[in-house]
Amino acid sequence: MTLLYLLDLLGTIAFAISGALAGVKKDMDLYGISVLSLVTAVGGGTIRDLLVGRIPPFIFRDYNYIVLSLLSALIVFFFYRKVERGYNTLLIMDALGLGVFTVIGVKVGIDYNIGYIGSIFMGVMTGTVGGMIRDILQGEIPLVLKKEVYASASIIGGVVFLILFKSIGESYLTIITAILVVFLLRLLAIRKNWNLPKPRI
Amino acid sequence: MTLLYLLDLLGTIAFAISGALAGVKKDMDLYGISVLSLVTAVGGGTIRDLLVGRIPPFIFRDYNYIVLSLLSALIVFFFYRKVERGYNTLLIMDALGLGVFTVIGVKVGIDYNIGYIGSIFMGVMTGTVGGMIRDILQGEIPLVLKKEVYASASIIGGVVFLILFKSIGESYLTIITAILVVFLLRLLAIRKNWNLPKPRI
Amino acid sequence: MTLLYLLDLLGTIAFAISGALAGVKKDMDLYGISVLSLVTAVGGGTIRDLLVGRIPPFIFRDYNYIVLSLLSALIVFFFYRKVERGYNTLLIMDALGLGVFTVIGVKVGIDYNIGYIGSIFMGVMTGTVGGMIRDILQGEIPLVLKKEVYASASIIGGVVFLILFKSIGESYLTIITAILVVFLLRLLAIRKNWNLPKPRI
């Protein structure tokens, strides 16, 4: 499906740029920036593929993901200031990427017959694990575990996808609706500064 | 085997609670607490399954593990104070979990024919890697690498299991003895404050 | 091929010692030192094997790798001072190990038909990911991401191997030349204090 693929590549660029920016902030060199770019963009999907037994993982079946990630790293390397100034655009692309990655992850889960819970799991993993590895490589506790509505937007979108998939099948409508749910929830969360509850201790 | 399965679920709850408590201490939100709960409880066994080629890993074959982990996270979320007060009970359940996880890991190693060393390796990995990922996600050096007799109890229990398995087969006696060895060694280690030696530098 | 195998074991020892030394510096106990030793020496190759579907990974097919890693840990444990004094020798062995691991990784990539980019990827991963896990377990940002010409030496050696492999096949000449390229680049990088560029921010 062409539209989904194009959105997937767009999301890959957004995630790769966020990884590269993190690398620059941590005083990494060109190699480190490239590695952070790559793991942020493709880390979640790669671990997902390992878990369902899709070997070799998608990054070795279609090199566009690796190439786009490394190009994004180069762009951040040479135009750091300009990229940073486009931070708001990046947040929007990242929200879109989260939606697309979620949908692709859930679809992989369904294709490999690992059940409903497992498919949601794969969607959230595709959308969030790359960013978690980025944060760990930066020496920080993953942000997604501490604040903001990020993984939760992915979970809700994954559930929406599953429900529509079961009722009307894998149509454009199913895919676009689920992506939009994640995308809008995430943008609303940023705008309204939504956070998940923390325990009262 | 029903008893082993029940003990396994009990160990899962103990490990999940220790993950959730760590999440609360690090100011994580409900999602972060759930993730720490899950990786602590099932991280070791999942990586073990990847290494022996048991795809999909056990968590996607029997959803009780994921469901119990998330329920444990919720319980810690809502009753943090009460759970914390039961810390001694938790240590006992954790010691039991370490024994059960070790035995299950060694059994998987034997089933997948990866040799004696590899089977012990799988036992220790099942018992300790989840806690290591928990600590890394907390931004800390894994405790198991620095002090206490924890992994060593698992190694000794794994060796006991292998010896009994080779001499009398996979009977209840084999399984219970090995679990008890780990359990008692671990409780003694806590009581007596045992530590492994460090190099003189 | 016997020479490559011997060099591989030598590299394993060098990487294991560097892991063990890191463990001692972080006040780890005998178990922690052994774990750091092991992951540094075999972590990269194990993840490489998971990614190409070579199950079980090499460490469970030939136990020399695990045994040598644990022996190296013991040597560091008992003779820390002496090993530390041999730091320059260790750097040379490490450079050799980087070259050997790179060549072996690229070969695995070729054997499993994952393309040119993927094969270089496997070479660099074999040479650098163990050290990255070592640094994360130490609670530090992986050094390889921040400075020195380390991964870059591996990338260049991987490209040299691929070119020679395509033109003259997998001969001794191909293998030795690629190893020497990595080895000499790395030693030059240490001697001349070479670093990769960082972005101007």
Angle separating helix axes A30-52 and C151-168, nearest 10 degrees? 70
Check if the beta carbon of residue A36 is closer than 8 Å to that of residue A72.
no
CA atoms within 13 A on the CB side of A134: 29
What is the reported pLDDT for A2?
Answer: 87
Residue B199 to residue C33, Cβ atoms within 8 A:
yes
Planar angle of CA A174, B57, B44, nearest 5 degrees: 120
Residue B119 lies in a domain: yes
Q: What is the pLDDT of residues A148-173, one digit of tens each?
A: 899 999 999 999 999 999 999 989 99
Planar angle of CA B194, B195, B199, nearest 5 degrees: 150
pLDDT at residue A136 above 90? yes
CA atoms within 13 A on the CB side of A149: 22
Residues of A with CB below 8 A from B24's CB?
199, 201
Distance (Å, whole) CA B174 – CA B154: 15
Nearest residue of C to residue A63 by CA position? C117
What is the reported pLDDT for A64?
Answer: 97
pLDDT at residue C201 above 80? no
Residue C25 lies in a domain: yes
What is the reported pLDDT for A1?
Answer: 61
Distance (Å, whole) CA C145 – CA B17: 35
Residue C142 to residue A137, Cβ atoms within 8 A:
yes
Distance (Å) of CA B117 to CA A96, B123, C69, C87: 47, 10, 13, 31
Point out the residue among B24, B29, B50 whose CB comes nearest to the CB of A201: B24
Q: Where are the alpha helices (DSSP H) in chain A?
A: 2-25, 30-52, 64-78, 80-85, 87-111, 115-137, 151-168, 172-192
Whole-number average pLDDT of chain C: 96
Q: What is the pLDDT of residues C52-111, one digit of tens each?
A: 999 999 999 999 999 999 999 999 999 999 999 998 999 999 999 999 999 999 999 999
Distance (Å, whole) CA B176 – CA B196: 25
Query: In chain A, how many domains are there?
Result: 1
Interface test with B, best of C36, C38, C60, C76 (most B CBs within 10 A): C60
Calculate how close chain C gets to A144, using CA atoms only, in Å: 19
Question: Residue C57, preceding bond cis, omega within 30 degrees?
Answer: no
Q: What is the mean pLDDT of residues C3-7?
A: 94
- Return the DSSP state at B150: S
Q: Is A192 on the interface with B (CB under 8 A)?
A: no
3-state secondary structure string across chain C = CHHHHHHHHHHHHHHHHHHHHHHHHCCCCHHHHHHHHHHHHHHHHHHHHHHHCCCCCHHHCCCHHHHHHHHHHHHHHHCHHHHHHCHHHHHHHHHHHHHHHHHHHHHHHHHCCCHHHHHHHHHHHHHHHHHHHHHHHCCCCCHHHCCCCCHHHHHHHHHHHHHHHHHHCCCHHHHHHHHHHHHHHHHHHHHHCCCCCCCCC
What is the reported pLDDT for B75?
Answer: 97
Instruction: Please name the residues in contact with A180: beta carbons below 8 A apart, sequence gap of 6 or more.
Output: A99
> What residue numbers bound the domain in which C66 lies?
2-192
Q: What is the mean pLDDT of residues B189-193?
A: 94
What is the reported pLDDT for B39?
Answer: 98
- Computed on alpha carbons and rounded to an integer, the radius of gyration of chain B in Å comes to 16
Residue B75 lies in a domain: yes
Distance (Å, whole) CA A33 – CA A23: 5
Q: What is the pLDDT of residues C136-145, one digit of tens each?
A: 999 999 999 9
Q: Is B145 on the interface with C (CB under 8 A)?
A: yes
Q: Which of B131, B122, B128, B117 is nearest to B103 (CA)?
A: B122
pLDDT at residue C1 above 70? no
SS3 B176: helix
Q: Is B76 on the interface with A (CB under 8 A)?
A: yes
Check if the beta carbon of residue B101 is closer than 8 Å to that of residue B44.
yes
Split at pLDDT 50, 70, 90, the class of B64 is very high
pLDDT at residue C42 above 90? yes
CB contact residues (below 8 A), chain C span 96-115, against chain A: 112, 114-115
Residue A151 lies in a domain: yes
Residue C148 lies in a domain: yes
Residue A197 lies in a domain: no
Percentage, residues of chain B above pLDDT 70: 100
Distance (Å, whole) CA C21 – CA C27: 10
Nearest residue of B to residue C29 by CA position? B198
What is the reported pLDDT for A200?
Answer: 83
What is the reported pLDDT for B1?
Answer: 61
Size of chain C, expressed as the number of residues it contains: 201
ipTM score of the complex? 0.95
What is the reported pLDDT for C2?
Answer: 87
pLDDT at residue A189 above 80? yes
Distance (Å, whole) CA C154 – CA C128: 9
Residue A200 lies in a domain: no
Residue C100 lies in a domain: yes
Q: What is the mean pLDDT of residues A178-196?
A: 95
Check if the beta carbon of residue B41 is closer than 8 Å to that of residue B22.
no
Q: Which of C148, C62, C146, C141 is nearest to C104 (CA)?
A: C62
User: How many helices (H) and strands (E) are present in chain B, helices listed first?
Assistant: 8, 0
Supply B100's token pair: 């059960």
Render the burial of B45-76: b for 16+ CB within 10 Å, e for the rest: bbbbbbbbbbbbbbbbeeeebbebbbebbebb
Q: What is the mean pLDDT of residues B124-131?
A: 98
What is the reported pLDDT for B2?
Answer: 87
What is the reported pLDDT for C24?
Answer: 96
Planar angle of CA C110, C114, C116, nearest 5 degrees: 70
Supply A88's token pair: 């708001």
Supply C104's token pair: 């072996």
pLDDT at residue A179 above 80? yes
